[in-house]
A and B are shown apart, each in its own frame.
Chain A
Amino acid sequence: MNKIFAVIRREFVERVRTKAFILSTFGLPILMVFVTVVPVLMMKGTDRTTNIAVIDATSDSVGTRIIAGLERPTFKEGGKPKYAIEHIAPTGDVTTLRDSLLKRTIRDAAEPLDGVLVLPEGVLSGGQAEYFGTNVGSLESMGDLQRILSSTIVGTRLERAGVDAGLVTAAMRPASLKSTKVSKGMATGESGEASFILAYLMGFMLYISVVLFGQQTMMSVIEEKTSRIMEILASSLRPFEMLMGKVLGVGSVGLLQMSIWGGTIFLVGRNRAVLANLFNVPVETMQQMPLPNIPTELLIVFLTYFALGFLLFGALFAAVGSMVNSTQEAQQAVSGVVMLIMVGFFGVFAVIKDPSGGLGTILSMIPFTAPFVMPVRWSMAAVPPAELAISLGIMIAGLLAVVWLAGRIYRTGILMYGKKPSLREVWRWVRAG
C-alpha cells in the first residue's frame, strides 16, 4: 500500500512541479476573470458621443422626427447624448454632398464625423435610408440606429393613418422575453444562455482534460518502457500497483486542476458584485455577463464524474501505453479510446438539445459516456436521484471491469518489446494466468 502511495506521490509531485502545469492551472482562472471583466470595462469605455450628419431630403416631417429620435437617447451615466446630429439640407446633388461630408470622417478633420445618414424622399413609403459610416462594423451601434429609424417611421405611418399618438407610443413599447432555467420544479435565477454555456463548458472541460491527462498517463507508461525503468519497477511493484499508482497519480493532478478551474468559475459567479466594485463597473452590467452560477451540488457531481471517468479512461490509456513501444505507434493504437471519448463528447450536444430525452438517459447509463453526459444533464434538467444512483453504480462496476482488464493487458504489455501486438494477442494476455 505504501508502495502505491510512493508511485502516486511521484507522479503527482513531478507533474505539479512542471512549468506547463503551473501556467495552465493558474493561467486559465486569470484569463477567466479577464474575459469576464474586460468586456464590461470595454462597454463602459464606449460612452463617446457619435457624430452623425443627416442629409434630410424628406419633404414631410419624418426627417425631423428621426433626428429628434436620434437626439433623445443618452448614456446611463452623466446624461451625455449618444448621438450628436448635424442637420444638412440637401442642396444640389445628394451624392456629391455626401462625398464631401464623408471627407470629414478622417481622424484629424476639423469637425470630425462618424458617419452620414441619408434620408431620401419617400422614406416613409418604403424608400431606402442609407448610412455611411466608420462604425458600421459595430453591431450594437447599427442595431440602435436601425431600431430608432424603424420605430420612428412605423410610428409616423400609424399616426398618418389616424391612430392616436398616445396609442402609438403605448403600442410601440417593446415586448421582451427573459428566459430562466427551471430545475427541480423551481426557478434558478439563471438565464437560459448561462445554462447553455455552463453545460457546454463542462462538456468541453471534461473532454479536454480526459484526453489531455489520459495522453499524459499513456506517455508516462511509454517513457517507463523506453527508458527501461520498467525493469526496476517490475521487480519491486506488482503490475496492478504500478497501473493504479500511475492512474491515480495523474488523475489527482487532473482533479486538482479541475477543482481550481471549477472553483474559480464558482467563485467568480458568486462574487460578481465584489469584482464589479473592484474594477469600478456597474453591478448590473456584470450580472448580464453570461457566466454561470455553479450550484454546489453540480460542482460535486461534476468532480465525481470527472474522477470516475478519468480513472476509467486513464486505465485504458495506460493499457494502450503498455502495448506499444513508441509515441508514434501509440497515436494509432489510441484512436479506439479517443473514439469512445468523442462519443461521450458528442453526447453532450444531444443532451443540451434535449436533457430529459431517451438518448441522454441511455448515454448517462453507459460507463464510457456517462462522465460527459451526466454532469451536463444534471446542469440542464432535474435528474431523479435514483437515476443518478443507478448511473453511478453502473459507472463504478464498469470502472472495476475496465481496470481489471487494463491490469491484465498492462502486466504483459510493459515487458513486451518489439512488434506491436495484434488484438488477438492482447486478448490472449487478458485470458492468460
Chain B
Amino acid sequence: MAAPAVRFDHVTKRFSGHVAVRNLSFEVPTGGIFGLLGPNGAGKSTSIRMMMDIIEPDEGSIALFGSDRKGRDLSARIGFLPEERGLYKKMQVLDHLVFFGEVKGIGRGEARRRATAWLERLGIGDWADKKVEDLSKGMQQKVQFIGALLHDPELVVLDEPFSGLDPVNSQVMKDVVIDLAKSGVTVLFSTHIMEQAERMCDRIVIIARGEKVVDGSLSEIKGEFGGRHVALGFTHDRDRASRILADRTLIASVDDYGASADIQMTEGADPEGVLHALVREGVGLSRFEIVEPSLQSIFIAKVGNAAVASRTGEAA
C-alpha cells in the first residue's frame, strides 16, 4: 500500500502560551480531495504551515509521501497556495510566474511555456505582461493559484482557495481542482465553507480549537450521523413546540430558522417519539422528515460540542 501523502502524528504547536494545534493526528491518503475544515482560528493554517515546513511543530512529527525529509526539501513535489496571498506588486505577471517556477526548481523556458498555457486556460492570457498591481484581486488570486501548480506537483495544498472569489471564478477554480484530482494529484484544501467541502471532498478532518473532532470519509461521517437528523416545517402553534425542542434527553441540538428547524436527536432517542409529542401538543406540521445530515449541521454539532467541552473543562 502506498504511503499516505501527508501524515500528522501527535502534532502540537504552541504560540506564546496558547496552544494552536493540540495532539493532532490524521492521514491524507494519496489521490482524491481532502478537506481540512474548521472554524476561524481552529489551527488550519498553522497545520498547513507546519506541513510546508514554514514553522516547526513543538511535538510530534509530520511525514510527507512517507519520506522522512522536510517539506521544504520536497517542495518540488508540492504546490502551495498560502492563506495570505502575496505577490510582488511591481513585477510582470509572466515574469512572476517564471520566478515561482524557478524557486520550485524548473527551468526558465519550461516555466514560461507552462505559465503561458495556464494563463490562457484561466482566461487571463492577455494580462501576461501587465504588472501584478494592475490586476484585480480575483485575477491576482488566479496568478497565485497558477504559481502553486506550475511545477506539476503530486500534492497540492490550498489554504482557503475560494475565499474572496466571485461565483464565476470560484467555479473556474473548482473545475481546475476537480481536474487535478482526476489526473491523480492529491488535493488538500482548507475551508470554513461547508457546502463547498461537502460537494468536493472525499475525506475530511474537522478541527476546532486545535483539536480533531471529526475524521473520515464523507459517507462514513454522514452514515454515523444519519437517522438522527430531522427537518421540521411548522404551520401553526409554533410556540407549543418550544418545550419539546428544549428537552435535552430527546434532542441534542436545534438549528432554529423560525418557520422551520433542523433538529438532531440524542443518541438512542426515537424520532417517532418527537413526532408523537408534537402532534399531541397540537403543533401544526408541514414537514417531518428524517434526513441525511448536511456537513454544515455535523460541523455545528461537533464544533459546538467541542466549544462547550473546552469551556467547561477538558475535552477528550
Residue A236 is within 8 A (CB to CB) of chain B in the complex: yes
Residue B279 is within 8 A (CB to CB) of chain A in the complex: no
Known contacts: A3-B105, A6-B102. The answer to whether A231 contacts B91 by CB under 8 A is no
The listed residue (B54, B87, B91) touching A415 by CB distance below 8 A is B54
The listed residue (A10, A13, A235) touching B75 by CB distance below 8 A is A235
Contact of A235 with B88 in the complex, beta carbons under 8 Å: no
Stretch from B77-85, B175-183, B299-307 at the A interface? B77-85
Question: Chain B contact residues: over half helix, strand or loop, or mixed?
Answer: loop
Give the chain A neighbours of B88 by CB distance below 8 A: 10, 14, 223, 227, 229
Q: Which residues of A (189-239) have their CB < 8 Å from a CB of B?
A: 223-224, 227-238
Residue B210 is within 8 A (CB to CB) of chain A in the complex: no
Known contacts: A6-B99, A10-B99, A415-B54. The answer to whether A229 contacts B104 by CB under 8 A is no
Contact of A235 with B71 in the complex, beta carbons under 8 Å: yes
Residue A7 is within 8 A (CB to CB) of chain B in the complex: yes
Contact of A231 with B86 in the complex, beta carbons under 8 Å: yes
Give the chain A neighbours of B87 by CB distance below 8 A: 227, 229
A238 to B73, CA, bound (A): 9
| Closest beta carbon of chain B to A66's beta carbon, Å | 69
Residue B103 is within 8 A (CB to CB) of chain A in the complex: yes
Residue A179 is within 8 A (CB to CB) of chain B in the complex: no
Residue A328 is within 8 A (CB to CB) of chain B in the complex: no
How extensive is the interface on chain A, given as a class?
20 to 34
Give the chain A neighbours of B54 by CB distance below 8 A: 231, 234-235, 415
Residue B38 is within 8 A (CB to CB) of chain A in the complex: no
A228, A230, A231, A415: residue with the most chain B Cβ atoms closer than 10 Å: A231
| Closest beta carbon of chain A to B111's beta carbon, Å | 10
Q: Which residues of A (218-262) have their CB < 8 Å from a CB of B?
A: 223-224, 227-238
Number of B interface residues in the complex (CB < 8 A): 27
Residue A138 is within 8 A (CB to CB) of chain B in the complex: no
Contact of A236 with B72 in the complex, beta carbons under 8 Å: yes
Residue A2 is within 8 A (CB to CB) of chain B in the complex: yes
Considering the complex, give the chain B residue whose CB is closest to the CB of A414: B54
| Closest beta carbon of chain B to A177's beta carbon, Å | 56
Known contacts: A228-B85, A231-B82. The answer to whether A236 contacts B103 by CB under 8 A is yes
A223, A234, A235: residue with the most chain B Cβ atoms closer than 10 Å: A235
Contact of B89 with A227 in the complex, beta carbons under 8 Å: yes
The listed residue (B49, B75, B91, B95) touching A236 by CB distance below 8 A is B75
Contact of A236 with B86 in the complex, beta carbons under 8 Å: no
Considering the complex, give the chain A residue whose CB is closest to the CB of B75: A236
Give the chain B neighbours of A13 by CB distance below 8 A: 95
Considering the complex, give the chain B residue whose CB is closest to the CB of A15: B90
A14 to B98, CA, bound (A): 13
A236 to B86, CA, bound (A): 14
| Closest beta carbon of chain A to B126's beta carbon, Å | 21
Contact of B85 with A2 in the complex, beta carbons under 8 Å: no
Q: Which residues of B (90-131) have their CB < 8 Å from a CB of A?
A: 90-91, 95, 99-100, 102-105
Contact of B72 with A7 in the complex, beta carbons under 8 Å: no
| Closest beta carbon of chain A to B115's beta carbon, Å | 14
A14 to B71, CA, bound (A): 29
The listed residue (A223, A224, A231, A233) touching B103 by CB distance below 8 A is A233
Known contacts: A2-B105, A227-B86, A227-B88. The answer to whether A232 contacts B72 by CB under 8 A is no
Give the chain A neighbours of B156 by CB distance below 8 A: none
Contact of B102 with A238 in the complex, beta carbons under 8 Å: no
Give the chain A neighbours of B147 by CB distance below 8 A: 232
The listed residue (B84, B89, B95) touching A231 by CB distance below 8 A is B84
Contact of B86 with A229 in the complex, beta carbons under 8 Å: yes
Give the chain B neighbours of A7 by CB distance below 8 A: 103
Contact of A235 with B91 in the complex, beta carbons under 8 Å: no
Contact of B72 with A235 in the complex, beta carbons under 8 Å: yes
One digit per residue, 1 when the CB lies within 8 angstroms of any chain B CB and 0 when it does not, for chain A 1-19 equals: 0110011001001100000
Contact of A14 with B91 in the complex, beta carbons under 8 Å: yes
Instruction: A227-B88, A232-B103 are known; give 9 further A-B pairs, CB within 8 A.
Output: A14-B90, A223-B88, A228-B82, A228-B85, A228-B86, A231-B86, A232-B100, A234-B52, A234-B54
Sample (7) of A-B pairs whose CB atoms are under 8 Å apart: A6-B102, A224-B86, A227-B89, A229-B88, A231-B49, A234-B52, A234-B72
Name B residues whose Cβ lies closer than 8 Å to a Cβ of A: 49, 52-55, 71-72, 75, 78, 80, 82, 84-91, 95, 99-100, 102-105, 147
The 6 closest A-B pairs by CB, nearest first: A229-B86, A228-B86, A6-B102, A228-B84, A231-B82, A235-B52
